[in-house]
Every structure is written in structure tokens, then in C-alpha cells.
Amino acid sequence: MRRRTVWTAGGSAALAGVLVVAGLALTSGARERAAAPIATPSPTASVVSAPPPLASTPVPAAAVVDACALPGVADGLADGDDSAVVEAMGGARALREAVVAGTAPCIDLADPSHVWMVVDKSRPYSPRDYEPGGLTRVQDMRVFNAGVLRSDAGAALTALVTGAQEEGAGEIAITSGYRSYRTQRTEYAGQVAALGRRAADAVSARPGFSEHQSGLAADVVACTKRGCSSIEQLGSTRQGAWLADNAWRYGFVIRYEKGQTGTTGYSPEPWHIRYVGTELATAYHEGGFHTLEEFWGLPASPDYGD
């Protein structure tokens, strides 16, 4: 006789509980296996070595060129031919840059025999009673006082006066050119007597410090058929306007411009023109300069330092 297994109600419930627990355990394990990341073999890391640093090649310093050693410079200086010196140095701009950089020691800005010389309240003549050579009376213009300039400056002034008339600006005359040390001493003493020393220093140079002593500077006035105006009136005339725009074409610069007293030490003088030669005057104009101190890289000279 076969033995039968009899399931009771309690037994069935217990079995069901066992099955549920087993099922939950199986389900939970499957989830964990699904959530676990799949391990993949790590690739072998390859290290790329940086190239060795390149050996640094020393850069040679730029050679300093002595502009005075350029062909033709020494000959030009020996002959007193300033235009030849400018050309030999590669032009006025190159000459200026060499002077400012200190690579043109042969260009002496204190030598009044050259058109590039600078005289101001810090840079007097040496000797103080210096006298230029080659002085001559200017031609083909109305002249007041002596009307004497160095020959190169005089010829340039004649060309300027002619140019002003031909271009419709009107007549320009010279009222003052070269002044000797003695003449400047008298001129300055008169200004001191009239204005006092401090005020005189703003409008008149002390003897030994005047551009007029070089023979390269001139004071000019505007004239009509009725006569000539004063130097103080020049700036408001057609001639004064033309001079301000065109003096450089003839080798002159307006030496004491408005707004430059802090550099030059003088009140504005639109009538005072200084000859530097057409090459340098062109470089001065094109470079937008307003004083020779600025042009040559020199310190300002507002006073005599006493």
C-alpha cells in the first residue's frame, strides 16, 4: 500500500513562504548582477616621452653702428658741408635718430658753425663772444637795421620772401638778423631796464645765449604798400599764417612756438625763424616737432638755472 503525503493548510502556507523568499533572493541577486559594471580589461597605458628641449641658440646683440664712420661723413665735416653730412648719414631722419641714440658723436650740437647747432638758456656759445664766418647782407627784400645773415641762411631767406610773394601771401621784410655779443648785451640791458630781469628773460636772450649771434636766425615782419607792421603783429597777418605753414620748405623753423615756453624759456615769437637747412627742416616738419630741444632729444631749457 502506497504512503500518501498529506499537506495541511499550515504546511502549504509555509511552503509558499519559502518559495516567495527564495524568489525574492533570486530576483535581488539578478538585479545586483545586472547593476554591477562589467569588468573590461584595462588597456596597457602608453607613455609618450616629451622630446628633449632644443638647445638655445644665443642671439647676437645688434651691432652698434658708428654713424660717423659712414663713407662721406668725415669729408663733409672737414669741408663744412652740412648737406653732404646729412646725405652721407642716410638723410636728416637717420641723422637725427643717430644723434638721439648717441651713435653720432661727431655731430656736435654745441658747434655754432653747423646748421644743427642748438643754443638756448642751458647751452651758451663757447666762447660766449663767438662770431660766425660768411656773413653777408640779405638781398631782394626790404631791410630794417643791418639785415645781415650767414650766406646760406641769407640765400634761403631771399627764396622764402620771393615764395611768399609769388604765392599771394604778401611782402615779408627782415627787421633783425645777426647780432654780435656786444649788440645783444645792449639789447638785453635795455629790456632789463624796461621790464625787469625776470620779464626780460622771457623775451630777450642774455648775451652769449642768443640765436641771432649765430647768423642763422632772423626776425621778420609783414609789409604792405602803406608800410610794415611790428613784429608782434605778424602772427595775425596773411604773411604770418603763410610763414607758419611754409617756412620749413625753405629750411627754416619757427623757433619759439606758442605753447612751448616750458621747453624754450621764451614767450611765443612767430616772427623769429631759425635756419637749419631744408633737409633738417623737412624732417622737423614731417615729424611734428615744435622745438629743437625735442627734435634732438635734449632736455628742456626753461631758464638759466640761476
Catalytic residue among 211, 269, 279, 293: 269
194 located within any domain = yes
Q: How far apart are CA 168 and CA 242, in angstroms?
A: 9
Task: Name the nearest CA neighbour of 260 among 297, 211, 213, 293.
Answer: 293
Instruction: Give domain status of residue 288, yes or no.
Output: no
Is 26's pLDDT higher than 70? no
Does pLDDT of 303 surpass 90? yes
Residue 104 lies in a domain: no
Is 220 a member of any domain?
yes
CB 82 within 8 A of CB 115: yes
For 233-274, the pLDDT digits (tens) are 999 999 999 999 999 999 999 999 999 999 999 999 999 999
**Structural domain boundaries, residue 209:** 122-281
Any domain includes 70:
no
The CATH number that applies at residue 129 is 3.30.1380.10
pLDDT at 232: 96
Residue 155 contacts residue 123 (beta carbons within 8 Å): no
Contact 243, 236 (CB under 8 A): no
Domain count, the chain: 1
pLDDT at 28 (0 to 100): 43
Instruction: With beta carbons less than 8 A apart as the criterion, state whether 301 and 120 touch.
Output: yes
The answer as to whether 222 is a domain residue is yes
Average pLDDT over residues 170-180: 98
Contact 280, 99 (CB under 8 A): no
The answer to whether the predicted template modeling score (pTM) of the entire model surpasses 0.75 is yes
The yes-or-no answer on residue 269 being catalytic is yes
